[in-house]
A and B are shown apart, each in its own frame.
Chain A
Amino acid sequence: QLQLQESGPGLVKPSETLSLTCTVSGGSISSSSYYWGWIRQPPGKGLEWIGSIYYSGSTYYNPSLKSRVTISVDTSKNQFSLKLSSVTAADTAVYYCARLRRRGYYMDVWGKGTTVTVSS
């Protein structure tokens, strides 16, 4: 059964770069049927799609975050990663990684999420 696990620092200072990794187990990240994505949820607020990546490296970003976001993939480690630069308190959120069906663009498997707080 496919599982996704987010990992990374739970505390990031303002103006620094947030870095998270999602490890995929129970399946291959190199499948042609899926994208791999990041979604976040600020405390008490709704979901926000951050971006997605295909195993080949093609990326798709939320236009409102595009200037600060980089998503990369490491097929040898079955992992993909998120970097969000110049963070502020507004970037404090639970960050989820998820598998997206390439046809339909829906998220059918989610990680449990990891909380990232931006504070000095």
Chain B
Amino acid sequence: QSALTQPRSVSGSPGQSVTISCTGTSSDVGGYNYVSWYQQHPGKAPKLMIYDVSKRPSGVPDRFSGSKSGNTASLTISGLQAEDEADYYCCSYAGSYTVFGGGTKLTVL
């Protein structure tokens, strides 16, 4: 199976909004509403930010939102803050296994 496709990098200024895309196929992203997103700061373990396409775990700011259209899922971060600078990974169930995206480095300018 192939990794989901994410842009290698995105950037934005504090207060702005950025969107990270995650493109898969009808066998993974398009086939199930089981897309999750993870934030990873350098040297740290990933942290769950979004699950089931658009749900936020307790403690995750509502500046983080998720959506899906067809085979592409998206993570939008509004009101960018310096601490949002990190790597972001999407992940999808693919019917008996799980596949990650290649990761996107978010730079807050």
Chain A interfacial positions (CB closer than 8 Å to B): 37, 39, 46-49, 51-52, 60-64, 96, 100-101, 104-108, 110-113
CA distance in complex: A111, B45 (Å):
7
Q: A96: which B residues are within 8 A, CB to CB?
A: 45-46
CA distance in complex: A22, B45 (Å):
15
- Known contacts A60-B96, A101-B51, A105-B93; A46 and B101 CB within 8 A of each other: yes
- Known contacts A62-B97, A105-B98; A46 and B36 CB within 8 A of each other: no
Check if B52 is an interface residue, CB within 8 A of chain A. Answer: yes
CA distance in complex: A110, B45 (Å):
7
Q: Max chain B CB contacts within 10 Å: which of A51, A60, A106, A111?
A: A106
Do residues A107 and B100 form an inter-chain contact, with CB atoms below 8 A?
A: no
Number of A-B contacts (CB under 8 A): 66
Extra inter-chain contacts (13) besides given A63-B1, A106-B36, A106-B52, CB under 8 Å: A39-B46, A46-B3, A46-B101, A47-B40, A47-B103, A49-B97, A63-B97, A101-B51, A104-B36, A105-B34, A105-B93, A110-B45, A112-B45
Chain B interfacial positions (CB closer than 8 Å to A): 1, 3, 34, 36, 38, 40, 45-48, 51-52, 57, 89, 91, 93, 96-103
CA distance in complex: A107, B99 (Å):
12
- Known contacts A96-B45, A110-B45; A49 and B103 CB within 8 A of each other: no
Do residues A107 and B38 form an inter-chain contact, with CB atoms below 8 A?
A: yes
CA distance in complex: A91, B88 (Å):
22
CA distance in complex: A105, B90 (Å):
12
- Known contacts A46-B3, A64-B1; A106 and B97 CB within 8 A of each other: no
